[in-house]
Structure 1
Amino acid sequence: MPTRCAPLVLLALAAPAAALDLQEVLACDDGAEWPPFTHYLRDAQGKPSSELGGFSVEVLQQILGQAGIKLRLELLPWARCQREVESGRYLMALNASYSQERDARYWLTQPYYRTTHSYFYSRRHFPKGLPITHLADLANQRVCGVRGYNYEAYKVPVEKIDFGARDFAAVVAKLHLGRCTIGLEKLEIVAGYRITGKDLLADPDLGHAQVPELPPGEFHMMVSRQHPQGEALRDLLNRGLSTLRSSGQLQALQRRHLPGG
């Protein structure tokens, strides 16, 4: 379970909330959790509490807290979370990879962490691995993905992806059953599943490799364009992220939460 941060240096946000009329931000994230970025905190026996933590949660709490704004975060099915943010009922989501569609529908903050694009396969069916040496090779595989997730970076036609899984643990089960040849996910997320009690990388039958020809995947916070405070909140978040980065606090949080820092 993540330990608590020591008090951090106050963020020097320009005009912290002058452009905002917000006392609270209602945000959502993936109901399946997105460890180690957003997840339920657990006790020593692994039992989840109702309290949420993780890298992204602490980053957002730091920025909003210094602006005098309270965070109310709820985990919803990811597809529903995106719809709620788009409609303006929820003001933002914490973890979103880039796509042109998302850039048009939401205000995206600057990227604040990077991940390793990876593909996963079952050694029960492919004990010697798979002949994937180029990004284009992914489109020749039977791909399993998670409902509502963004796979634009992998250049696989969306109609060729099986979106029947609610989380990546379900994708792994489908790989072992032979229903698909590969599952696509960020290595940091699959490693982070151990926080939830599902140590997927401990499975000796689960193989993985980095997707060739893809740079690291960048993640943003995603703010509603329909909410009248959305653009001003995006600007506040960008100022906060810049301050955290220049002060070294963002990197310190990464070292504490992310595998390998």
Structure 2
Amino acid sequence: MRKEIVLCGIAAAALGGMILAVSTSGEARRVHDPATATKVRTERTADAPEKADFRARIDALLNGQTVPPAPEEPTFSVPRTLSEYDTAIIGTPLATEEQCVDYLLSVNPHPAISVSPRELVAYYYQEGAREGIRPDVAFAQALKETGFFRYGGTVTPDQNNYCGLGTTSTQVKGAYFPTSQMGVRAHIQHLLAYASTRKPIYPVIDPRYNLVRNVYGASTLGHWPDLNGRWAVPGDSYGQSILSMFRAILQK
């Protein structure tokens, strides 16, 4: 009898150990289950931007600052440009970015700009698309205004001023912009000031935007030849010469 009790005790202990081992092993599998671990990390990662944004807003409030809202996406329609003989300032590009770069480098292989030619052209296409301004023709205007980025006049390369903004005489150098992209943005905004009564998407950095809008009020100058004698003085064929350069870009 005593032997049977001992054997039963040993069997029970062994069985209990097996149950404990299975239970412990099962819990280990649940804790280290890759699917569960991935899910937790994913959830935390998804929450991270919201938490970071929340902290940034709290910090801004504590410091008496405000978090500016993101610029709104364009909600206006832009007419599609179908012909190289379309003279409208507002429209879509016909030339590719590559054609613009190739044309510039074919005339001036070493332009005096603070970024690569490809980057500069990309800025024109980004900023132009945002405001509905034809970027390829705006770039042609920059080529005319800067002498294919050789300069040599009143404006100097360090100004990032690609359209003579604020240069009203040989003694006035005009506006300075901190980066190449800001210079392009100001150029596009100045064209918009002439061509539309619609406000720019981004805050105005063109120093003469309000001046143009105050002069023309509800009126607009919608075509490149309309800039004759206005953007450039006397500039009798100013707009036509820009369009001629634009058509030369299309040949590349």
TM-score range relative to shorter protein: under 0.3
TM-score normalised over the length of structure 1: 0.24
Q: Give the structure with the larger strand fraction.
A: 1
Which structure has the greater CA radius of gyration? 2
More helix by share: 2
User: Which structure would you say has the larger RCO, counting Cα contacts within 8 Å and 6 or more residues apart?
Assistant: 1
